[in-house]
Amino acid sequence: MITAVVLIEADRDVLSTLGGTLAEAEGVAEAYSVTGEWDFVAIVRVERHDRLAEVISGGIAKLPGISRTQTMVAFEVFSQHDLEALFDLGN
């Protein structure tokens, strides 16, 4: 599974509705409204690298009201849950 974090800047007039639209978009596992320079963060999960362009450039970036995106592809995932499971082996 390929995971990408997509930072999204949106026009002010879509801020109240874009979160739901993002959450329903193909390939989007989670969508968050956030503070700071960016307005939303979308977590994209796809089976193959070549699907990233379809989902992000061909889908998310073309949604009405999105003015700019920045995508970061994850190399590895680390979570507290994974670390706890690792140290719990043999118990």
Based on the structure, what is the number of domains in the chain?
1
Note down pLDDT in tens along the chain; length 91 residues. 999 999 999 999 999 999 999 999 999 999 999 999 999 999 999 999 999 999 999 999 999 999 999 999 999 888 766 556 656 665 5
pTM of the model: 0.84
Q: How far apart are CA 17 and CA 76, in angstroms?
A: 31
Domain range for residue 80?
A: 2-87
CATH of the domain at 43: 3.30.70.920
Q: How far apart are CA 52 and CA 17, in angstroms?
A: 23
Nearest Cα to Cα of residue 2 among 45, 51, 53, 65: 45
Q: How far apart are CA 23 and CA 44, in angstroms?
A: 10
